[in-house]
Chain A
Amino acid sequence: MELSGAEIIAQFLDDEGVEYLFGYPGGAVLHIYDALLQADKVKHILVRHEQAATHAADGYARSTGRTGVALVTSGPGMTNAVTGIATAYLDSIPLVVITGQVPTGVIGSDAFQEVDSVGISRPCVKHNFLVNDVKDLAETLKKAFYVASTGRPGPVVVDIPKDVTDPNIKIPYSHMPSIEMRSYNPVTKGHPFQIKKALELMLQAKKPVFYTGGGVVLSNASASLCSLVRQLGFPITSTLMGLGAYPSSDEQFLGMLGMHGTYEANMAMHDTDVLIAVGARFDDRVTGHLEKFCPDAKIIHIDIDPSSISKTVKVDIPIVGDVDDVLTTMLEMLKDDSKETSLKVEKSSCDQEIKDWWKQIKVWRKKNCLRYNKKTKTIKPQYVIEKLHEVTKGDAYVTSDVGQHQMFAAQYYGFDEPRRWINSGGLGTMGFGLPAAMGVQLAHLDKPVACVTGEGSIQMNIQELATCMQYQLPIKIINLNNRYLGMVRQWQEFFYEGRYAMSYMDSIPDFVKLAESYGHVGMKIDKTSDVEDALKEAFAMKDKLVFIDFITNREENVYPMIAAGKGQHEMQLAPDSELV
Chain B
Amino acid sequence: MRHIISILMENESGALSRVAGLFSARAYNIESLTVAPTEDPSLSRMTLVTSGSEEIIEQITKQLNKLVDVVKLNDLNVSGVKHIEREMMLIKVKAPVSARDEIMRLSDIFRGNIIDVTDDAYTVELTGTSDKLNAFIASFDCDSILETVRSGVMGIARGSSSLHL
Contact = CB atoms under 8 A, between A and B. Distances in A.
B78 to A, nearest CB: 16
Most chain A CB neighbours (cut-off 10 Å) among B13, B25, B66? B66
Most chain A CB neighbours (cut-off 10 Å) among B18, B59, B65, B68? B68
B4 interface: no
B101 interface: no
A183 B25 contact: no
Interface in B57-85: 58-59, 62-63, 65-66, 68-71
B18 A122 contact: yes
A462 B58 CA distance: 44
A315 to B, nearest CB: 12
A36 B159 CA distance: 57
A310 interface: yes
A119 interface: yes
A122 B58 CA distance: 22
Interface stretch (A47-55, A123-131, A411-419): A123-131
A181 interface: yes
A130 B18 CA distance: 14
A122 B21 contact: yes
A130 B68 contact: no
A182 to B, nearest CB: 6
Contact of A183 (B10, B21, B59, B63): B10
Most chain B CB neighbours (cut-off 10 Å) among A181, A183, A309? A183
B17 to A, nearest CB: 7
Contacts of A314: 55
Interface in A87-130: 118-119, 122-123, 126-127, 130
Nearest to B8: A183
Q: What 5 A-B pairs come out closest when comparing CB atoms?
A: A307-B62, A127-B68, A183-B71, A306-B62, A184-B68
A163 interface: no
A181 B71 CA distance: 9
B24 to A, nearest CB: 9
Interface of A: 118-119, 122-123, 126-127, 130, 147, 181-184, 305-307, 309-311, 314
A122 B25 CA distance: 10
A305 B66 CA distance: 8
Interface string B95-120: 00000000000000000000000000
A275 B17 CA distance: 38
Given A123-B25, A130-B14, A306-B65, A182 B71 contact: yes
A311 B70 CA distance: 20
Contacts of B21: 122-123
Nearest to A127: B68
Contact of B70 (A183, A306, A307, A310): A183
A122 B65 CA distance: 16
B1 interface: no
B53 to A, nearest CB: 12
A310 B68 contact: no
Given A122-B18, A307-B65, 10 more contacts: A123-B21, A181-B68, A183-B70, A183-B71, A306-B66, A307-B59, A307-B62, A307-B63, A307-B66, A314-B55
B121 to A, nearest CB: 37
A311 B61 CA distance: 12
B71 A122 contact: no
Most chain B CB neighbours (cut-off 10 Å) among A118, A181, A184, A314? A184
A93 B58 CA distance: 25
B33 interface: no
A483 B66 CA distance: 44
B17 A122 contact: yes
Interface in B2-38: 9-10, 13-14, 17-18, 21, 25
A559 B10 CA distance: 50
B138 interface: no
Contact of A118 (B14, B55, B62, B65): B14
Contacts of A310: 55, 58
Contacts of A118: 14
Interface in B133-160: none
A321 B145 CA distance: 55
Contacts of A183: 9-10, 68-71
Nearest to A128: B14
6 contacts: A122-B21, A127-B68, A182-B71, A183-B70, A307-B66, A309-B62
Nearest to B42: A182
B7 to A, nearest CB: 11
Contacts of A147: 68
A119 B17 contact: yes
A314 to B, nearest CB: 8
Contacts of B25: 123
A569 B65 CA distance: 37
B12 to A, nearest CB: 9
Given A123-B21, A182-B71, A311 B59 contact: yes
A310 B13 CA distance: 32
B38 to A, nearest CB: 14
A314 B53 CA distance: 13
A181 to B, nearest CB: 7
Contacts of A306: 62, 65-66
A123 B23 CA distance: 11
Contacts of B9: 183
Given A182-B165, A307-B59, A311-B59, A130 B17 contact: no
Contacts of B13: 130
Contacts of B69: 127, 183
A200 B70 CA distance: 36
Contacts of B18: 122
Contacts of B17: 119, 122
Nearest to A156: B68
A306 B63 CA distance: 9
Contacts of A184: 68
Contacts of B71: 182-183
